[in-house]
Each structure stands twice: as C-alpha cells, then as structure tokens.
Chains A and B, each alone.
Chain A
Amino acid sequence: MTVTDKTLPDREPAGSPAGSPLLEVSDLTVSFGSEAGPVRAVRGVSYTVRPGETLAIVGESGSGKSVSSLAVMGLLPSSAVVTGSIRFKGTELLGLNDRRLSKLRGSGISMVFQDPLSALTPVYTIGDQIAEAVRIHQEVSKNQAHARAVELLDLVGIPNARLRADSFPHEFSGGMRQRAMIAMAIANDPDLIIADEPTTALDVTIQAQVLEVLKKAKEATNAATVLITHDLGVVAGFADRVMVMYSGKSVELAPVDEVFYTPRMPYTMGLLGSIPRMDVEEKEPLIPIEGTPPSLVSLPSGCPFQPRCPIAVDLCRTVEPPLADTDRPLHWAACHRSLEIAQRGWSAADVFVRPALPPADASLPPVREERDVVLALDNVHRAFPIRKGAVIRRTVGSVRAVDGVSFDIRQGETLGLVGESGCGKTTTIMEVMNLLEPQQGRIVVLGKDTGTLKNSDRRKMRADLSIVFQDPMASLDPRMPIGDILAEPMWVQKIPDERIKARTAELLQLVGLAPEHASRYPAEFSGGQRQRIGIARALALDPKVIVLDEPVSALDVSIQAGVINLLDELKVRMGLSYLFVAHDLSVVRHIADRVAVMYLGRIVEIGTTREIFAAPSHPYTQALLSAIPLPDPVKERSRKRILLSGDLPSPADVPSGCRFSSRCFVFAEQLDAEQQATCKGVDPGLYELGGDHRAACHFAKVREVV
C-alpha cells in the first residue's frame, strides 16, 4: 500500500499532465548545526514539478518549506548539510559548483523573495539591476538590455516604465518593488519560478495586484511555479497542486481541490478548521490545534504531529507514517489513519474539538445605545511636521497621519479598525494610549476627557486601558522573567507584593499557561505562548478597555485560532471592550461587533460587522474585501476581484476632495464628468446609510463582493 518516496513520480497514474518532470526533488534532507544539537530542518522531502504547473508548498514557520526551496536554488549557507537529490531537467543540482549553478539560476530557475527591499541593491537603479540580470545570461548590448528591462517593467504593470526604470529601489513602494523583482525573475524566460512568500509583506490590495502580475508573468513565460506560502487563501486561487509540510516532512500532497475539500491528514484538516473565514457569518469558536510544532532538535518519536493530534493511536507514537496512497488518485497523505478518515468522512469539526464559548453576559443591556461609552474619539487629528534644513530647520509640510477620526466603543463591544499600512491606524491607537490631549479633537476614556487629566489621574487611568502588541517577540523584554513582566503594571499601581504574586499565578492560568512558568524567560516560549503572556499582562489590572494592535497577525494559523478563541472568551467572561486593529478582515469578521474602515487618516466606512461585510457601500471597502483570497478553491475561481490601481497616496500630499478618488474604480469607470467633479471638489463626510451604517462616499452603492 505504501510507496517509498523515491518511487513516487513513477507511480503517478496516466491521467496526470504529460511530459517529463521539470524539477524532481527526492528524499531531500537539510540539517544545520546548533548549540542544542543538529536542527533537522528538512527530513526526506520528495516532490516533482511538471512544466507549466504551479505547486504550492504550505506550512507554518519552521516547517522547512523555505529551506527546501533554498536548497533547490543552492542558496543555503555552507553550514547546512544537504543530502538526497535535486534534478532539474535531468541534471543533478546537488554538488554542482557555484559557477555552473549560477548559470542555471536566473535563466533556468529564478526566485522571487519575500522582502523585496532587501532583495534589491539600494545603490543601483531598478532598470540597471534588471538589465544586469539580462546581460549575465544573454549576449546583448547594454542598450538592448536596458530596453528589455523597460519592456519587462511595463509587462509587470509599472506605470511610466521608461521613466521609472531610472528610479532607485527606495523610490519604489513595496508593491512596485515586488513587481520589479518579478520582472527580474522572468527576465531570462526561466522554466521555473520559485516564489518564497511573495506577498506576505504586502497589503491585501497590493497582494491582489502582485498575484495578478505573477499570473501574467507565468502566462508570458509559461514557467512552472513553486509558491511557498502560509496563506491558504492565496493557495486556493493560485495553485494546481499543494504540498503541506509539517516539521520538515511533507505530510500531504494532492491537487488543490482535494486538499481543501477532502483532506486526509489531520494536520491539514486542523489548518483548514483553524482559519477564520471571511465568507462565514456565523460566530462559532474556531477550531484550534492544541500545542505547538515540535522543536526540530528533539522530535517526538513516531509521527511528528502525534502530540497534537486528537486521533493519534499507539501506532502513531512509534512509527512515523510515510507519505502514502490514499483512497483518492493523485493524493498522498502521511497518516496511519487516512483510510479511516476517508471511510468515516471525518472533517475538521469531527477530528478536533470545537471549544465552547461561555454565554454572553446577561447583565449588559442588549441594546447598544443603552450601554456606557467606554472610549470615544471625536474628530481627532494628528499631524507630523516635515522639517528640512540641517542648521535652521523649518517646517515645509506635514504628514496628516490621522485626519479627523471619530468613533465610540461601548461596554462589552469590539470595534475592528481595519485599513492598509500607512492609513493611520497605528497612529490612532498611539494617540489613545498616550492619554494626552490630541492636537485637535477630543479623546474620552471612560467618561473622562484626556485633555483635562492630571498626571496622577492619568496613571490611575492606565489601569483601565491596556494594550496588546502585534509582535510577541518584541513586546516582552527578553531580559525579564515572565513573572516580572506580568508584575510590572501592578508595581506601577503600587499593589502589595503578596497580592502581585497571587495575581501573577492567576493570570498565567487564565491564559492557559502554568504558574510555574513565571520564572522563565520569554525566549523559552513559542510565539503563541508569548502572545498569551502579552494578553495576561494587559489583563493584570482588570482593565475595561483593551487595545489590540494586530494581536494575531504575527502568529501561525494553527496558533492564531487558540489566541482568537482566548480573546473571545476573556471578553465575555470579564466584560471587556476591545479596540481591535487589524489588516486581516477575516479575523475582524470573526471577532468584531462593529467595523471601521480607515483610508489615509480618515474613517471611510463604519457600521456593524454584518453591514460592512454583507453590504459594503464605500468603493474602498469593496475593493479591500474583494482582494482577500478565500481558502476555498471553487469560490476563489469564480470570484471577480476589484483591482485598485496604484498605491496608497502619501499622507503628506492628500488628494483634494474625496481622498480615495485617485484610486477609485467607481470614479474612473462609472461616473460622468459632473459627478467626477463632485468627487474632486467636495470632501465627502460620513453619510448615514440607515441604522448604524455610514460611509464617506458621494455615490455609495452596495456591492456584494465576498
């Protein structure tokens, strides 16, 4: 029944796309030395890529997905020990010297990296860098190479390519840099493009643009693509086949629909169950995968997923399952019970336990208007001056980061504040957290105006308002034990030591950690656990309002679900109100009661979660929602994207009239000249659309996009 990894390619039925494989990786292992012993990053991975197909490699951080592809490119550090075989068009790549490998890189295989800023040389122009890539592999003159560079930039959708080719990388925005990287990758008509998390660093609307470019590039060169990502939504819309990796092994390999609709490995099922869905309205708790991925230094015996797997049996604890046939053709899974899963038709909800959410607090008045306002912003402005000159510094302009934001949050409610990077959401929460008088407008916390606070009152108020940061690595002082980190807010409020000690233990239990953990340091915890510690710290003084600054965006999906559930549970149990800042709209749909969409320092649409997602009325909200890929291949294929043109304008130079008009598809395609003049001339206020729903658009119209 089982096949060994080596024979995999031969055993594929005849129905598969014809032709010999372009890339054949078999039994690849990569290990690094470390202080704690060898780190076995990749442990026997085999896969093939046929000409023209797109293989997505999915996995969480540390699953070995990037390392295995770097091995293909020959880009691993010399300390890595690589064994197995990597054959490209029949040529063995492992052991090839750097010169011969360099010939292949760029012309045969090319790569698109995650961070386009560090992948481009800052001191050469974009055009020169692409021309260089052309000239290395092709015998062409300098001028021809430059012309080709301009052509390529045009192909990837850089406006004014001839002019922009002379720009330096820092003059490009993130999305444009990634386009330039793609242009460079296809410069020599490669047969294989490896894209390592190509859109992870980008905003959703830009991600949609870049994915479109990548598709176009693929069509232009007919290259096969290996897409490495952790985003199952991107996979659903882009890949032909999917390989799921877990702790250095491939655990499932199948065509994209099979993986999404009939997964045969509990880990894949868990991944699919743990992502919040933007297209699901019902508020059920997510299904988390308990525990964390094993350390690659000390793997558990048997199946590496076994400690987290609810259906593990004794066999799983002793024998590691190989990637084997399942009941379906072209579908392999590494699970002893995959046939059983198929027979019983188990889904994620059957395999994993869906936690129960405590019932909502009955003491709160059901009608929103009857509850107390805990946090209110009224026309808050924040501008940063732009100064010039070395000796005499004069102000030449200002960045209007927050430009008149108003919203209120009532008791027991979650407001999701969403928008792309640079829209001013972080500045907004910093204004709230500083508890100072804003440059313009008013901030009222629990009925008190921050402008009139005395210093001692401000310190007292800090007990009622706390924050959880995005990056759990950066938000905990690495030199402090957890106990001290949790105690810090209590020290400030001068709480007696015995009380602090008891409370610390209580807090750790509240977020699902053990009280013994108090003496350990942050580095000893995984990302998800660290974020729980950050939440525990925010809860230390029983606050009324918690500001959550993208609390789950730095976490892996399987961990994310647990943290979201925890936040949901704490909110109900402790009667908290959240200001939830995020760019991930699926998470917002899951957790928020109301949503405010920000664009360029303003709120452009605000309403209940249902109103925003079911009846988005501002064109920007519509574009934002339609840009988010759904983890559902069939839906994803039938969806029409609204692609926004260009990038976010600089907040230092806000367009006149409606600030979205420069990128608005409605403005460009559906309005007549007179209406356009209105958009250009009159700054739209937030118009009432009935109920709680308001949008800042002169021509607001509901469009269904999810």
Chain B
Amino acid sequence: MSMSPQEIFEVASPAVSDPDATDQHVEAGQPITRGRLILRRFLRQKSGIAALVVLVLIFLLAYFGPYLTHWKFDDFDQTNILTGPDSNHFLGVDEVGRDVYARTLKGLQKSLVIGLVAALVTTSIAAVAGSIAGYFGGFIDITVVWIIDLLLVLPGFLILAILSPALAGKTWLWLVVLLAVFGWMVTGRVVRGMAMSLRERDYVHAAKFMGVPALTIIRRHLLPNMASLLIVDVTINVGGTILAETGLSFFGFGVQPPDVSMGTVLSDAQPLATTYPHVFMFGAGLLVLTVLCVSVIGDALRDAIDPSSGSSRL
C-alpha cells in the first residue's frame, strides 16, 4: 500500500461531491442511493471492468477447465514425458509425465481459494482488533498496538517457514490462518485510527447516551461506516495473499505434495523454465494475470467508493 488508506478513505461522509448538491429535497425525485452511485462509478472505469471480466474467466477456467481433458492432475503419462502442447495434452507434459494443463488448473484452484479465504480472514482480524482497540482505547488499545508492533517486527515469512514442518500433513486451512495472522497489522492500524475518529462522531455519542452496549456500537455503527475501506482491503489482500502463499509453497513451506498450488507447480517447473518453457510459462502467466486483475479491480473499486481519490472526477 503506497498511500495511507486513512487519507484515501475519508470516513464515510454523507456529502457526495458538491456541497450545493447534497441538500436534496426528498420529494424531488428518487435520489441515487449510495450503492447505485458506486456501481455507476465503477462501471465507468473500463480497466476495472476488463479486469473483472478476466478474473471471472480465470475462475471459470480453474473450476471448469479440468473437465475439458480426461487427464487428472495426479495421472502419470510415462509415454509422453516432456512433449510439447498438442491435442492430447493441451499444454504438454512435464518431466515425470504429469499433464501441465490439469496440474496448473488444480494449483490455480487451491491458490485462488487460499487467497480469497486468507484475505477475508486477514481483514476480519484487522477489523475486529482495530475497531475494538480504537473504540475502547486505554489498556485494550495499548495491548493491541503492542501486538501489532510485535508482529510487524517479526519476520513473518521466516516464522511460517519454521512452523511449516509442524503443519505437515495437516489441512491447508492452517496455512490460511498463519497467512492471516501475519498479514492484518497494517490494516489493523488503519482501522484503529478510523475507529478513534468515528468514536467521536455524534451518532456514536448518541448511541452511547441511549445505553447501547459497546460491542453493539462497534458492530452497528463503527464497522458499517468503514465498509468501503474493508471491501477494498479484502480485494487488495487477495492479490497479496496469493503471492505470499505461492512464495511459501515455492520454497516448500506452504501447500505440501500431493496437494498442488501455484507455488508447487512453479517450483516443480522452475528448473525446466529455460529448456522446456511450456511447462513453466502457462502457470507463471496465469499467476501474474490473476494478481494484476485483482489489483486493478481494487483500484477501480477504491475510485468508485471514494470520489475524491482523483480519476473518477467528472
């Protein structure tokens, strides 16, 4: 994240863009709802739409692509080792006789799922921890900030690498948990800052003076008002976690064989990248394309949600 998200997301203010236009008469036609406005602004951005279309295609490919061939990702075709793409093996065969097409798509499935789930978990941790710290302040705040600072100075990759033998044979969901635990800190800090400013809003005061319990205030008033930040954060995190998972798996710390992910596919193919490029190119290309799409969508979403971020101005 290059810009501080706090600057980008001025906490949900009802003013749309022009101060003169906000005082709309209720009876003067049905005003545009916020959701429709965001959708309209998003649809105006060609790059965002294109990326969304490509990403949907990638998902379709990952889940329906394997049905196009009779080869399974763990089949061995000893007769065609290292042959190039043809009608039998769409993308050729690797050095031990596995079908590159089937394997890559299987890996893509896993990476996409891990990326999505881990991004959701990451943002959820950040939202809960950050808003609780920001709303309550005091001792709770100090504790949460201390944990954030601690996690920020710990080398996450190294710890994941060290922990990975202990997780061998366990479900990949553990990997998701670990990726999330080491990935929520920056967003957590931002959420904490927003919670601290939202805490001083009159509507939060009003709720407090009605006697609404603190956790209910957080759930009902704080989190919905940060929704735009959180949504964009999830999107951007998807790209990040896919890369993190791929990196770990590449070095053998993440997804363990016989399970396949983009990381293991690429690490298996890496020695042949220069000699038999077909084994490597497809997977690498798909990975780059996926992450690129996700980040373009994230940008477009941010511009759509926050009109002051520049490019969406009329």
Contacts and interface: CB of A to CB of B under 8 A. Distances in A.
Interface stretch (B33-41, B56-64, B182-190): B33-41
Contacts of B14: 473, 478, 522-523
Contacts of B225: 477-479
Interface in B12-67: 12-26, 28-29, 31-34, 37, 40-41
B31 A524 contact: yes
Contact of B224 (A295, A469, A479): A479
A474 B201 contact: yes
Contact of B205 (A41, A469, A537): A469
A36 B31 contact: yes
Contacts of A292: 23, 25
B209 A433 contact: yes
A39 interface: yes
Most buried by A among B31, B220, B224: B31
B313 interface: yes
B26 A526 contact: yes
Contacts, number: 130
B313 A521 contact: no
Given A473-B14, A478-B14, A79 B25 contact: no
Given A469-B206, A471-B202, A32 B23 contact: no
Interface residues of A, number: 54
Most buried by B among A36, A61, A534: A36
Interface string B210-237: 1110000000110011010000000000
A477 B203 contact: yes
A458 B211 contact: yes
A61 B19 contact: yes
Given A41-B20, A474-B203, A478-B14, A520 B224 contact: no
A295 B24 contact: yes
A475 B19 contact: no
Contacts of B314: 33-34, 79
A141 interface: no
Nearest to A435: B209
Given A469-B202, A474-B201, A295 B18 contact: no
Contact of A489 (B12, B15, B210): B210
Contact of B18 (A39, A493, A527): A39
A297 B16 CA distance: 14
Contacts of B12: 478-479
Nearest to B210: A489
Most buried by A among B24, B28, B313: B24
Contact of B28 (A298, A478, A534): A298
B64 to A, nearest CB: 37
A626 interface: no
Contacts of B207: 477, 488
Interface string A448-482: 00000000001100100011011101111111100
A523 B34 CA distance: 9
Contact of B202 (A458, A474, A491, A492): A474
Contacts of B40: 35
A108 interface: no
A263 interface: no
Interface string A508-527: 00000000010011111111
B241 to A, nearest CB: 28
Nearest to B201: A474
B227 A479 contact: yes
A293 interface: yes
A61 B29 CA distance: 21
B34 to A, nearest CB: 7
A489 B206 CA distance: 9
Contacts of B34: 521, 523
Contacts of A302: none
Contacts of A524: 24, 26, 31
B227 A295 contact: no
A294 B26 CA distance: 10
A469 B204 CA distance: 11
Interface of B: 12-26, 28-29, 31-34, 37, 40-41, 201-203, 205-207, 209-212, 220-221, 224-225, 227, 313-314
29 contacts: A34-B16, A34-B21, A34-B314, A35-B32, A35-B40, A36-B32, A79-B313, A79-B314, A292-B23, A295-B24, A295-B25, A298-B29, A458-B211, A462-B209, A467-B205, A469-B202, A469-B205, A469-B206, A474-B203, A475-B203, A477-B203, A477-B207, A479-B225, A480-B224, A492-B210, A492-B212, A493-B211, A524-B31, A529-B26
Given A478-B13, A479-B12, 15 more contacts: A32-B18, A34-B17, A36-B31, A39-B20, A61-B19, A462-B211, A467-B209, A475-B206, A476-B203, A477-B207, A478-B12, A478-B225, A520-B26, A526-B26, A529-B26
Query: Which 6 pairs across A and B sit closest by C-beta, in order of nearness?
Result: A475-B202, A33-B314, A479-B224, A469-B202, A462-B211, A523-B14
